[in-house]
Amino acid sequence: MDLHRIRVQLRDTPGQLARVAGALGDLGVNILEVDLHSVVGAARADEMLVDLTRPLDLRAVELAVLKAGAEVLDIAPADPHELKDPVTRALELAYGFLRESDHSALADLAAALVRADQGAIVPASGLDPVAAASARVGGGGRQSRERADDDTLEWTLSIPFHDGHEHLVLTLSRRQPHFSFTEMARVRALLGLVPRTAPSAQPPVALPDGGAIETRLLSPNDLRAAERLHDRCSATTLAQRYFTSVPLARSGLLPRLFMFDEHHLAIGAATGSELVGIAHLAIEREQPRAEIAILVEDTHQRRGIATALLAEATSHLLDRGIEHLEALTLPGNGGMETLVQRLGQPLRLRREAGLVRVVIDLRQLAEQATTARR
């Protein structure tokens, strides 16, 4: 077999792909696989794994595609191993990603996912100010055309993420073709596994009543413990958290809340193997701002657990460059307001759509904590 990968850009209109396939078929090119990619504008890019069933000048392939109303972005030899089912290949890469902790290995796996020539992971602090700012606010990534060491131009894709300890940026590069939106989304999905791979153990948090809890980032594996926590909560407590009387088991909301990525995470408070409190965080993509929602089991309320969850959330968010934290509460629910006042914060409230929005300045909160420790 004479395998090649051909990426063509074509109009996203009915029949356009059929015309390209027909033109290739007239040359004796057998299409084995088609991978669809989103690109800028009304066009799309289709990457085809093909077998040239007879000796053929690649320039003839380019001309045939052009006559069919499309453009060849790249054509390159392919390896027989690439005949593997793409879903199986992606799952194998994800499995390898979860096993690895070394950053160079993770970069190699991400490069393999999108067939980049090389990949690297670097601290965001070592980047230029624009890229560093993008990493700090959790930007979705950017692509640029840069000059390589051998003085040739190559495409570079940079995607920020957080490994639970620091801000990092994954960079992938290749000569051709440019990275598609689809490939960016695939890499971001892979990076979404990272913060959940190795949650760091935290020392126990002492509570004012003499007890102690453990706080940690939660993973999808904690869903069952979260369900048991919700089963132990009263209807009033759940209504104050979710603003609804519909049972969560019936609404299907809780499993969706445990589908984490770089913009959605949760911190749990646990005693032994059981969760007694959860703080869900939603981080905005473009602004240094996040929203928090806290649930504490009835029998553990007024022990300082919500305060501990807020303090842990503050630490995580400040590490990501988040400066403002907001929370929505029901009118008459003074729990969050009391919590903010207990922390010594001036209360900023906004009423909207029958709810009260509490705004917390995380920078000021951190400065107060530092002063109190002196």
Query: Which CATH number covers residue 256?
Result: 3.40.630.30
- Say if residue 334 is in the same domain as residue 211: yes
Q: What is the pLDDT of residues 4-35, one digit of tens each?
A: 999 999 998 999 999 999 999 999 999 999 99
Q: At what angle do helices 86-99 and 181-191 cross, to 10 degrees?
A: 40
Distances in Å between the Cα of 53 and the Cα atoms of 20, 26, 264, 303 are 17, 11, 49, 73
- With beta carbons less than 8 A apart as the criterion, state whether 225 and 273 touch: yes
Of 162, 196, 230, the one marking the end of a domain is: 196
Residue 356 — very low, low, confident or very high, per pLDDT cuts 50/70/90? confident
- Say if residue 246 is in the same domain as residue 141: no
Of 196, 218, 253, the one marking the end of a domain is: 196
- Say if residue 340 is in the same domain as residue 235: yes
pLDDT at 137: 39
Q: What is the pLDDT of residues 230-270, one digit of tens each?
A: 999 999 899 888 887 666 655 678 888 888 877 889 999 99
Strand locations in 94-243 (E): 118-123, 142-147, 153-162, 167-174, 205-206, 212-217
The stretch 190-206 carries a mean pLDDT of 68
Of 148, 168, 196, the one marking the end of a domain is: 196
pLDDT at 374: 54
- With beta carbons less than 8 A apart as the criterion, state whether 31 and 50 touch: yes
pLDDT at 255: 85
Residue 373 — very low, low, confident or very high, per pLDDT cuts 50/70/90? low
Residue 179 — very low, low, confident or very high, per pLDDT cuts 50/70/90? very high
Query: Which CATH number covers residue 21?
Result: 3.30.70.260
Q: What is the pLDDT of residues 36-85, one digit of tens each?
A: 998 877 788 999 999 998 888 899 999 999 999 999 999 999 988 888 88
- Say if residue 251 is in the same domain as residue 368: yes
- Say if residue 334 is in the same domain as residue 231: yes
The fraction of the chain above a pLDDT of 90, given in percent, is 38
Distances in Å between the Cα of 225 and the Cα atoms of 212, 228, 236 are 19, 5, 20
- Say if residue 156 is in the same domain as residue 36: no
Domain that holds residue 22: 3-82
Euclidean distance between CA atoms 175 and 76, whole angstroms = 11
- Say if residue 69 is in the same domain as residue 138: no
Q: Helix, strand, coil: what percent of the chain each, to 5?
A: 40, 30, 30
- Say if residue 356 is in the same domain as residue 256: yes
Matching residue, tokens 């970069």: 107
Kindly tell me the burial class for residue 69, based on how many C-beta atoms sit within 10 Å of its own C-beta (0-12, 13-18, 19 or more).
middle
Q: What is the pLDDT of residues 96-138, one digit of tens each?
A: 777 766 677 888 889 999 999 999 998 876 555 444 444 443 4
- Say if residue 59 is in the same domain as residue 158: no
Report the sign of the C-alpha dihedral through residues 103, 318, 199, 262, in that order.
negative
Phi, psi of 372 (to 5 degrees): -65, -30
- Say if residue 235 is in the same domain as residue 175: no
- With beta carbons less than 8 A apart as the criterion, state whether 175 and 139 touch: no
- Say if residue 229 is in the same domain as residue 347: yes
pLDDT at 197: 44
Number of domains making up the chain = 3
The two beta strands, 43-52 and 29-38, are: antiparallel
- With beta carbons less than 8 A apart as the criterion, state whether 204 and 213 touch: yes
Euclidean distance between CA atoms 277 and 256, whole angstroms = 18
- 257-266, 276-285, 320-329: which is most confident: 276-285
- Say if residue 74 is in the same domain as residue 90: no
CA atoms within 13 A on the CB side of 61: 27
